Amino acid sequence: MSGITPIHASDLEFDHGTFDSALFAAQTLANWQALAAVIDHTLLKPEATREQVEKLCDEAMRYGFACAMVNPMWASTAVHLVSGSGVPVGVAIGFPLGASLVSTLRQEAVALTRLGVRELDMVMPVGQLKSGNYQAVQRTIHAVATVAHHHGALLKVILETCLLNVEEKLRASEIAIQAGADFIKTSTGFSTAGASAADVALMRGVAGARVGVKAAGGIRTLADVKALLEAGANRIGASASVAIVRELEEQQTVNS
């Protein structure tokens, strides 16, 4: 990334392919099963118990969520619980600060993918980005992407948008994509704010059709999900997943 030039709003005019957000949102909201298939059912609170992880995995299988998302210590438990169901396990790494050593992130990625984890959500090194150390940011993400892809796993890179200005969001999105991210993601849900439709739209503008955009953080209602899908998200991370899909099911039952 040596000699990288600043990324400005005008750079979004470059053709990165087209992602039809309106069509995707309409198809996803057509029924609760389609909606569940794009939601990462998430339990990342530090006090989560084994019983709660078991419940999360049971719900992920019952509703057909995109994945069961847990912290590293519960990875082997979750992989065992969902075995044979077709629901993958996702794990957050470098979480929630984005301040881990590259070697630590790489070791986490290797250990987790060997356990059978198929989706990794890593926090971008936010401090390095804000310091202007763009090569370090790219190297960090690329190191994890290389491990993930070698083991057949997806990598989602969390930008933590609430800590970034507009130009930093644009630059972070492009760096993550260039470094091998499969998704760029808004938030950890542990900082000062979560997902917003404006940030999702900005990130989709950079991504085009090249990678996915995941909205996460503070998503609690069907209305939240609808706004984020229409802005350009094609994956949602939520702990209120069951309530959200039930809300859609109830709406459709009333309207049928």
Where do the structural domains in the chain lie, given as residue ranges? 11-255
Residue 129 confidence (pLDDT) above 50:
yes
Residues 6+ apart with CB under 8 A from 205: 12, 232
Q: What is the pTM of this model?
A: 0.93
Two tokens, residue 236: 């949602």
pLDDT digits (tens, 9 = 90+) for 12-24: 445 678 999 999 9
Two tokens, residue 59: 């719900």
Residue 185 annotated as catalytic: yes
Q: Which pLDDT score is estimated for 4?
A: 43
Of 105, 114, 107, 110, nearest to 76 by C-alpha is: 114
Residue 226 annotated as catalytic: no
- Selected catalytic residue, list 121, 182, 199, 224: 121
pLDDT digits (tens, 9 = 90+) for 198-245: 999 999 999 999 999 999 999 999 999 999 999 999 999 999 999 999
Two tokens, residue 133: 């150390």
The answer to whether the Cα torsion of 164, 184, 137, 111 is positive or negative is: positive
The CATH class given to the 11-255 domain equals alpha beta
- Selected catalytic residue, list 156, 182, 214, 224: 214
Residue 214 annotated as catalytic: yes
pLDDT digits (tens, 9 = 90+) for 60-78: 999 999 999 999 999 999 9
**Pairwise CA distance, residues 232 & 213, whole Å:** 7
- Selected catalytic residue, list 156, 182, 185, 199: 185
Residue 110 confidence (pLDDT) above 70:
yes
